[in-house]
Structure 1
Amino acid sequence: MIINTVKGQVKPEFKEKFIAHMAELAETVRAEKGCIAYDLNVDTENELVLFLFEKWESKEDILAHLATEHMQSHLAEAQPWFDSLEMETFEATKFDLF
Structure 2
Amino acid sequence: MSISIVAIFVSKDNMEPKLTSLFKSVIESTRKESGCLNYTLYLDQENPKRFTFLEEWQNKACLEKHLASECIQDLFNNIQDLIESSEIIQLSKIK
Q: TM-score, normalised by structure 1?
A: 0.88
Q: How large is the RMSD of aligned CA atoms in angstroms?
A: 1.3
Give the whole-Å Cα distance in 2 for the aligned partners of 1:23 and 1:7: 15
Give the whole-Å Cα distance in 2 for the aligned partners of 1:68 and 1:8: 19
CA contact (8 A) 2:23 2:75 kept: no
Instruction: Figure out how many residues of one structure are paired with residues of the other and give that number.
Output: 94
CA contact (8 A) 2:35 2:57 kept: yes
The gaps in structure 2 that reach 5 residues or longer are: none
When you count helix as a share of all residues, which structure comes out higher? 1
Residue identity over aligned pairs, in percent, reads: 26
Q: TM-score, normalised by structure 2?
A: 0.90
Give the whole-Å Cα distance in 2 for the aligned partners of 1:75 and 1:24: 12
Q: Write the letter of the residue equivalent to 1:71.
A: I
Q: Deviations over 1:44-63 (max 9, x none)?
A: 11111111111100000000
Greater Rg by CA:
1
| Counterpart in the other structure of 1:40 | 41
Q: Deviations over 1:16-59 (max 9, x none)?
A: 11111222210010000000111111111111111111110000
CA contact (8 A) 2:4 2:90 kept: yes
1:85 partnered with 2:86:
yes
Deviating above 3 A after TM superposition, structure 1's stretches of 4 or more consecutive aligned residues are none
| Counterpart in the other structure of 1:21 | 22
Give the whole-Å Cα distance in 1 for the aligned partners of 2:54 and 2:31: 12
Q: Write the letter of the residue equivalent to 1:19.
A: T
The gaps in structure 1 that reach 5 residues or longer are: none
